Amino acid sequence: MTTTPTSGQQLQRAGAVLSSPGLIRLVSEIDDHGAIPERGLARFLGDLSTHQIRQAIMLADTLGLLDRTYDGLGLTAAGQSLADVYDATARWARRHNYPAPQSDFAGRIRHTFALLHDPTHAESGSADNGADAGPEHVRRLLAEWIDAYQPRPGRDTYGAAA
């Protein structure tokens, strides 16, 4: 059974953290190309500075997204699942020309995640008559990812507040 985060603030905080351009690029490149040797990251992420790459790796490690193997940096199950959320978000944004017809992948994700906590866009999304019809679909995917892969602070083993 899928549950949603206990607060909109948790969804907003997660959306802000997961909207890091470096994180989006790192996760997406590894998802697209498989494990990448750490020394090869600058080649795959040429639009990011060394500092931005380091920050993205630290953030990804903190979130439990990276798996270090002999081949290089790969994605854990959480990383793979986040890559799927990113892909679904970008598909929705591209289909709706959001935020603009000519936007890049990371920009579409960042703007769509920001849209999720905008109360004027808190629609249930049935305009396209599809399972991924509106921003609510992206909100649900993000909430499911948070519930599955991010520990809830202040909870004990049984889910009760500490």
Has residue 4 got a pLDDT over 70?
A: no
What number of other Cβ atoms are within 10 A of residue 46's Cβ?
8
Residue 15: C-alpha distances to residues 49, 121, 130 (Å): 23, 15, 23
pLDDT given at position 161: 42
pLDDT given at position 24: 97
Residues 6 or more apart in contact with residue 122 via CB below 8 angstroms: 135, 136
Average pLDDT, whole number, for the chain?
83
Domain count, the chain: 1
Mean pLDDT (whole number) for 86-102: 92
Q: Show the domain range for 9.
A: 1-150
N-term to C-term CA, the chain: 23
Tell whether 55 is covered by a domain. yes
Specify the CATH number for the domain of residue 14: 1.10.10
Tell whether 85 is covered by a domain. yes
Percent of the chain with pLDDT over 90: 56
Residue 35: C-alpha distances to residues 30, 48, 51, 73, 154 (Å): 6, 18, 20, 5, 34
Tell whether 20 is covered by a domain. yes
Alpha-carbon distance 140 to 138, whole Å? 5
Tell whether 162 is covered by a domain. no
The model's pLDDT over 20-55, given as tens digits with 9 standing for 90+, comes to 999 999 999 999 999 999 888 999 899 999 999 999
Has residue 79 got a pLDDT over 50?
A: yes
User: Please, are residues 151 and 62 in contact by the beta-carbon 8 Å criterion?
Assistant: no
Give the residues across from 73 on adjacent strands: 36, 68
Question: How big is the chain, counted in residues?
Answer: 162
